[in-house]
Amino acid sequence: MPICFEPSENSEISKRHYNQIAREQMRPISRKYDEEEHSLPDEWVDFWWRTGRQGPPSKLESEGDGMITVCIQAEEICWGDAALYLRMPGPALGGSAVSAAGTKEQRNRFLSPFRGDGHPIWGAMAITEANAGSDAAAIQTTADFDDETQEWVLNGSKIFCTAGEGAATVDGGIVVVWATVDKSAGRGGIKSFVVPANTPGMRLIGCEKKLGIRASDTATLLFEDCHIPKDHLLGSAEVKKRDPKKTGDKGFKGAMATFDASRPIVAAMAVGVGRAALDFVKEELERQGLVVRYDAPPRELTAIERDLMEMEAELQAARLLTWRACWMMNRGKPNNLEASMAKAKAGLAVTRITQKAVELLGASGYSRKILVEKWMRDAKVNDIFEGTQQINQLIVARRILDYPSAMLR
């Protein structure tokens, strides 16, 4: 089936709807919460929980847009503010992990509160540790099964947990924790567990002070004898005594499948930030009398016109790679290669585009009077989280060359 790059009517409705939210609800408070790091943006959280998450008044799923619509939403809202996007109440990465590795019963149980009408709640995923970043198999947090209580007991610490503060401390939230049930088994021993907010033994240590996305809560969590029920292991909860690495029917591969869904979303976030910077630069230069001449011969173009054309090409390439990964996911096709390609390209593109935007605007671009310098700071994280640029390029190389991880590091 060929890919159609023309957005459906419902996708266009979605795009206009979320752009209006970005323009009217996010841009006016963007600078405020960048400067007031760790403050909860109450007006944004309340708006999104009451109104924003309901979406435009149309049945978007009727045309099978699925993940493409999700990425259109991410692009438009991050055009407004990427940090506020990450601060939105909802299942977020925790929900993606439950969807990827959980059973049908677990998906219904853990995700249904996010569809309710109660107070705003958050989901988070806790993977990264001080000595386990890009190599998730190096995780040291442990999960031991207590035969007496029939519970899992978690011990360890996690850093850089996006939305971790809300997910760990607001009733109804969930944190999906990656832990090993058998260190000797390497990747085979890694499982994912759902820890509800305010579970005894899970403690919020604090939030990172960051270069960018400063309105987002990026938390450090500590687990000390944290007991959770047996069926909070994502996947099958059957426990085989003295062979814990066989618990869970999806394990590490199921948990890693989370990234096949989340990486295109991160790529779409990057496209949104890059487009915000590019749109602003073009509008500002047009105000000064410089309009890009797309029909002019290359030899007649100015250096600034060439820069803007290159920025546009980088942005469009990242967007199309993102939509390709989403299109494949919508149709149940393996998209591990395409998701990593989109993430790698978008992270690199948004870094270049926002840096060039600051450069083209000169002293104004460097000033805090406008948002361009903020977009440059916000952009860089897209090249880091959900797998660094280097890791995603490594995944792409492995898939293209059909090499196992042991042969290409």
- The structural domain count of the chain equals 3
Q: Are residues 110 and 56 in the same domain?
A: no
| CATH code of the domain containing 140 | 2.40.110.10
Residue ending a domain, among 64, 89, 114, is 89
Q: What is the pLDDT of residue 53?
A: 85
Asked, for residue 3, whether it belongs to a domain, the answer is no
Q: Are residues 258 and 401 in the same domain?
A: yes
Nearest alpha-carbon partner for 67 in 346, 287, 333, 293: 333
Q: What is the pLDDT of residue 251?
A: 63
Q: Are residues 267 and 331 in the same domain?
A: yes
Q: What is the pLDDT of residue 337?
A: 95
pLDDT tens, position by position, 131-161 = 887 777 789 999 999 999 999 999 999 999 9
Q: Are residues 312 and 236 in the same domain?
A: no
Asked, for residue 2, whether it belongs to a domain, the answer is no
Q: What is the pLDDT of residue 57?
A: 66
pLDDT tens, position by position, 62-73 = 445 788 889 999
Q: Are residues 401 and 261 in the same domain?
A: yes
Whether the per-residue pLDDT at 192 is higher than 70: the answer is yes
Q: Are residues 280 and 341 in the same domain?
A: yes
| CATH code of the domain containing 398 | 1.20.140.10
Q: Are residues 245 and 259 in the same domain?
A: no
Asked, for residue 16, whether it belongs to a domain, the answer is yes
Q: Are residues 270 and 385 in the same domain?
A: yes
191 and 165 Cβ atoms separated by less than 8 Å: no
Residue ending a domain, among 215, 250, 285, is 250
Q: Are residues 241 and 258 in the same domain?
A: no
Q: What is the pLDDT of residue 133?
A: 79
Q: Average pLDDT over the chain, rounded to whole?
A: 91
Q: What is the pLDDT of residue 376?
A: 98
Mean pLDDT of 168-195: 94
Q: Are residues 264 and 386 in the same domain?
A: yes
Q: Are residues 16 and 108 in the same domain?
A: no
- State what percent of residues in the chain have pLDDT above 70: 92
Q: What is the pLDDT of residue 2?
A: 54
- Active site annotation includes 76: no
Of 208, 305, 338, 386, which one is the catalytic site residue? 386
- Structural domain of 201: 104-250
Residue ending a domain, among 44, 62, 89, is 89
pLDDT tens, position by position, 209-267 = 999 999 999 999 999 999 999 999 999 655 444 454 454 445 677 667 788 989 999 99
Asked, for residue 96, whether it belongs to a domain, the answer is no
Asked, for residue 95, whether it belongs to a domain, the answer is no
Asked, for residue 94, whether it belongs to a domain, the answer is no
Asked, for residue 293, whether it belongs to a domain, the answer is yes
Asked, for residue 81, whether it belongs to a domain, the answer is yes
Q: Are residues 265 and 230 in the same domain?
A: no
